[in-house]
Amino acid sequence: MITDETIKRIIQFTKDRDWDQFHSPENLAKSISIEAGELLECFQWDGNHYDRQAVKEELADVMNYCLLLADRLGVDPTQIINEKIDQNEKKYPVEKAKGTSKKYTE
């Protein structure tokens, strides 16, 4: 569980280094994509055998940038995640989506 204390620590880390000047929403979104690519690279040649530590580090980078973007946009990460789950519960009702990877329109 990501706590408010952890989020504050991430924000303080960037403030202490004066990195906020580089953290426009656009730059943070780019950074999320870049770090997600690095996470994917961990599984590039063999998805069954990967460096768990490298995966954890890249996942943390993605999550850090996501939390920084939420902060920059002034949105509560827990709230927007729950709102999206509410939408997805309507879009993918259990009786239609359980056990299938087909898109809800199929």
Q: Output DSSP code: residue 75.
A: -
Q: What is the mean pLDDT of residues 33-44?
A: 97
| Global pTM exceeds 0.75 | yes
Q: Give 52-94 pLDDT, tens digit per residue.
A: 999 999 999 999 999 999 999 999 999 999 999 999 999 999 9
Could you tell me if 70 and 76 are in contact, meaning their C-beta atoms sit under 8 angstroms apart?
yes
Q: What percent of the chain has pLDDT over 90?
A: 88
